[in-house]
Structure 1
Amino acid sequence: MNRNEELKQQAYSAVKKQSSTVRLDPYFPAYHLAPPAGLLNDPNGWIQWKGIYHLFFQWMPFDTAHGAKFWGHFSSENLTDWTLEPIALTPSDWFDKNGCYSGSAIGSDDKLTLFYTGNVKNEQNQRESYQCVAESTDGRTFEKKGVKVELPEGFTAHFRDPKVWQHKDNWYMVIGAQTKEETGSVAFLESNDLEKWTYRGILSHANQEPFHDFGYMWECPDLFELGGKDILLFSPQGIASDGIQYNNEYQSGYAIGKLNYDSAQFTHEDFVELDRGFEFYAPQTTLDDKGRRILVGWMGVPDQNEFKQPTVKEGWLHQMTLPRELKLIDGTIFQIPLEEMKELRTTQTIKESGKQQHTASISRASEVQVDGKIQKLTLFDNMTLQFNEQSKLLTLERPSYADGQTERRSCLLPNGLYSLQLFIDHSSVEIFVNQGEAVFTSRMFADEGVSTLFAEGYEELQITAWTLRNDAVNMKNEYSAEG
């Protein structure tokens, strides 16, 4: 048995030992994607290929800790029913022995091609990084093709997370990077054959206008066209909090601009945080055959009390967000739940209007829609969302799972609060504000016995709620004891 197969079998065995504990945890999600065991983080290789959506993920199967990452793999035909596929990549070669780090996927020449970062550390814990490729003809089994890009001059070995796309006749790649001066940046590369890559320069960095000292490392870049503009999505590290901005340990957001492919210059506006909640990082987008730009993010933040979450003792940690459609409206990216999410609904449990206050009992896997001039919403006595009509400030509060102290995240809504759409899933909530103008994504470890929803408006409210499916993810395969 070669090293790749050996690691796969070790991972499958580890999951089988842990699977019953993981799936019986009341905090394990009903319809979000989570690891079969161990730790999940960044979404990788997010793509629709030959009509099938593929979402790969950073995965540590042996422990709820970071380490030499694998690529796990989910697939779906409809974005609501998902199947856990065989392991895509293992850290089995010299160029990725300390982890198959994040990357992207493209479809070309009837192949599904993965680009990822091979992480290597020597005995002195010094890092090397390589941009690597693996290919598949069936979308399930992958053959590594080795290193395609080595570290250019001017960067530290913190050089990772390649995102690849095609523009006209050529292929392009952005990579999250740290310069020798230890500032965050995005490197830009070009190829006409996906084999030989030419480094074109830095598209943006921590001191490029309008940025100033904007972080020591930029991770998980993504560059795409939306609404006639070029959008640079990235996750900077090393930014101090500033009022209601940048309150998580690390951020994820975007800058709107214009990329000149000929000169390799990207002029852009300021950074905007993409999500206002407690847990959101490393998002990645793809374009599907309906022309939608769809984003998935990791519902977690590195180095932010992640190992104090109560699921650690049950053998699993973290999950993904729901897929969201992006639209550029009046200079702001709106994030909108996909139309397909309606297929998750099973039973309508609430349909009320004409009252200023509403109290109801809801399932721990629910969708809730609230319309009207909303003042306050409390969920399971664990989370409170409150809007101040005078300051236009919307604030989410919860008890910290690290120490129980109240913590807050906020955003400004200049035009007021008139709509909330919540997707609640056992230990998480995604709150879409004003049809996607803002989003709060957060874990929510409420007591099991509490099921109360309370809403209060400045005027009368309308509330609708549905129970959502509990069988959206099929994990009965190589990973499962039921396999």
Structure 2
Amino acid sequence: MDLDKQLKKRVNDEIKGNKNKVEKDPFRLHYHIMPPVGLLNDPNGFIWWKGQYHLFYQWMPFKTGHGAKFWGHYSSTDLIHWKHEELALAPSDWYDKNGCYSGSAIDFEGKLHLLYTGNVKDESGNRETYQCLAVSENGINFEKKGPILNLPSQYTAHFRDPKVWEQDDKYFMVIGAQTKELKGAVALFSSNNLTDWTHEGMIAGGGEGKLKNFGYMFECPDLFHLNGHDVLIFSPQGIEACEMKYNNVYQSGYVIGKFDSKNCVYTHGDFEELDRGFDFYAPQTTIDNDGRRILIAWMSVPDQNEQDHPTTEYKWLHNMTIPRELSIVEGRVRQKPAIELKELRQNFSEGYVKLDKESKAINFSEGETLELQLDDVDIPNGMLELTLYGNARLLYSNEHSVFTMERKSYVDGTIEKRQCKLDKLHSLTIFIDTSSIEVFVNDGEESFTMRFYPYKNDKVIQVGSTEKCQFKYQVWNLKKVF
């Protein structure tokens, strides 16, 4: 039995051996992608291909910590019901023995091609990095082709996460990088065949332009066309907090500009965060058969206190966000829940709430998973507060034009918060799962994402205001699909 088959057997045995333990976890999510066992992180290879969405992911199946990563694999026809497929990639060769790191997928000559980073470390911890290719005819079983790109001299071995697309009869690839001067950068390559690549230089960061002093490493770049603009998404590391901005360990965001494919030049504006919450990293997008740009991100951030999550007791850790449709409105990227998520809705109710310097417990809906939509929010003065399941709060201060998400830390119980400025609050869309909350403010003008762990017997939503305020609401319970 070759090494790949041995590893696949070990993974399948691990899934079967821990199935009962994992499924007993009360915080196991109902409609979010999770690993069947072990640790999940970055989304990889997200693509619409031959009538299906394919979403691969970084996976450590043998523990709830990091290590030599595999590529797990889900497929779906509707972004709601996901099938866990056979293991796609295993760290079984000299060029990826310490991890099949993040990458992307593309159709080439009718076959599904995965491009990923092979991670290699010696006994002293010195790193080597290779950009590698794997090919499949059926989208399930992949044959590794090995390295297709070695490390250019301008960069350190922190050089990873290739994202590939086709444009103007050529293939382009962006890679997250660190220069020899320890500056974060996005490197650009071009090819005619996915195997022979030309380094076209750096298109963002690298000690130049608007991002010249913007951290020591850029991860998970993704460059795409959206509503007449070219958007570069990436995850910079080493950004210091600045008031309400950049308060996570690492950030995820975007710049908007114009990509000149002929001259391989990208001009862009300032960096904006994609999500203002606690748990959002390494987003990846695809374009589907309807021409929509769909985003999915990892609902966590690297280097957190991962073993403090209560799910580790049940042999699993982390999940993805819900899929989100992207658009550009008034020069900024907006995220809205994918329309397919409406298929999860059941047990509809609606109403109207008026508050006058008071707090009320509102029985919006029974159950632990729901979608809550607040519209026509009117807060002439003072502050509106929503307390969710006793363990999270959403607040808007009209006086300071500030929206706040709070939670009790699952590490030490202290209150932690994330915030942003708003001109005005007029609507909220809130998705609550057993241990996650995703909030879309003003039709996706801002989003806030977090994991949270509510008390078992507290599924109440409390609303309150310091002055008069009012809003109408619609609420649905959401089906369990995992």
TM-score interval (norm. to shorter): over 0.9
Cα displacement string for residues 240-279 of structure 1 (whole angstroms, at most 9, x for unaligned residues): 1010000000000000111122222211111100001100
Contact 2:116-2:132 at 8 Å conserved across structures: yes
1:462 aligns with 2:461: no
Shift of 1:178: 0.5
Residue of structure 2 equivalent to 1:477: none
Structure 2 unaligned blocks of 5 or more:
none
Cα displacement string for residues 45-71 of structure 1 (whole angstroms, at most 9, x for unaligned residues): 000001100000000000001110000
Q: Distance in 1 between matches of 2:259 and 2:280?
A: 26
Shift of 1:430: 0.5
Q: Distance in 2 between matches of 1:446 and 1:373?
A: 29
**Stretch of structure 1 that moved more, 370-379 or 100-109:** 370-379
> What TM-score, normalized to structure 1?
0.95
Q: Distance in 2 between matches of 1:329 and 1:133?
A: 36
Shift of 1:362: 3.5
1:405 aligns with 2:414: yes
Cα displacement string for residues 413-447 of structure 1 (whole angstroms, at most 9, x for unaligned residues): 11x11111111110001111111001000001111
Q: Distance in 2 between matches of 1:289 and 1:438?
A: 26
The percentage of counterpart residues that share the same residue type is: 51
Q: Distance in 2 between matches of 1:354 and 1:402?
A: 35
Shift of 1:454: 1.8
Contact 1:362-1:453 at 8 Å conserved across structures: no
1:105 aligns with 2:99: no
Q: Distance in 2 between matches of 1:212 and 1:181?
A: 11
Q: Which amino acid aligns with 1:450?
A: D
Q: Distance in 2 between matches of 1:309 and 1:208?
A: 39
**Candidates 363, 378, 381, aligned match of 1:373:** 378
Shift of 1:211: 2.6
Q: Distance in 1 between matches of 2:14 and 2:125?
A: 27
**Stretch of structure 1 that moved more, 253-262 or 454-463:** 454-463
Q: Which amino acid aligns with 2:388?
A: L
Residue of structure 2 equivalent to 1:447: 455
Residue of structure 2 equivalent to 1:424: 432
Q: Which amino acid aligns with 1:451?
A: K
**Stretch of structure 1 that moved more, 400-409 or 275-284:** 400-409
1:359 aligns with 2:362: yes
Residue of structure 1 equivalent to 2:330: 330
Shift of 1:78: 0.8
Residue of structure 2 equivalent to 1:17: 17
**Candidates 400, 412, 426, aligned match of 1:391:** 400
Q: Distance in 2 between matches of 1:87 and 1:174?
A: 25
**Candidates 426, 435, 453, aligned match of 2:443:** 435
Contact 2:30-2:433 at 8 Å conserved across structures: yes
Q: Distance in 1 between matches of 2:162 and 2:119?
A: 13
Q: Distance in 2 between matches of 1:378 and 1:122?
A: 50
Cα displacement string for residues 204-240 of structure 1 (whole angstroms, at most 9, x for unaligned residues): 1153222342100100000001111111100000011
Structure 1 unaligned blocks of 5 or more:
474-483
SS of residue paired to 1:436: coil
Q: Which amino acid aligns with 2:56?
A: F
SS of residue paired to 1:210: helix
Contact 1:359-1:455 at 8 Å conserved across structures: yes
SS of residue paired to 1:171: strand
Contact 2:179-2:206 at 8 Å conserved across structures: no
Contact 1:96-1:118 at 8 Å conserved across structures: yes
> What TM-score, normalized to structure 2?
0.96
Q: Which amino acid aligns with 2:154?
A: G
* Structure with larger RCO (C-alpha < 8 A, sep 6+): 1
Matches within 5 A, 1:11-90: 11-90=11-90
Residue of structure 2 equivalent to 1:309: 309
Cα displacement string for residues 297-347 of structure 1 (whole angstroms, at most 9, x for unaligned residues): 000000122221111111111000011000000001010111110001122
Residue of structure 2 equivalent to 1:201: 201
1:274 aligns with 2:282: no
Q: Distance in 2 between matches of 1:23 and 1:216?
A: 40
Q: Which amino acid aligns with 2:351?
A: E
Q: Which amino acid aligns with 2:10?
A: Q
SS of residue paired to 1:447: coil
SS of residue paired to 2:23: helix
Shift of 1:364: 1.2
Q: Distance in 1 between matches of 2:413 and 2:333?
A: 33
Contact 1:206-1:216 at 8 Å conserved across structures: no
Q: Distance in 2 between matches of 1:465 and 1:161?
A: 39
Q: Distance in 1 between matches of 2:394 and 2:366?
A: 17
Q: Which amino acid aligns with 2:201?
A: G
1:94 aligns with 2:94: yes
Contact 1:104-1:162 at 8 Å conserved across structures: yes
Shift of 1:456: 3.7
Shift of 1:113: 0.7
Q: Which amino acid aligns with 1:403?
A: D
In angstroms, what is the RMSD of aligned CA positions?
1.2
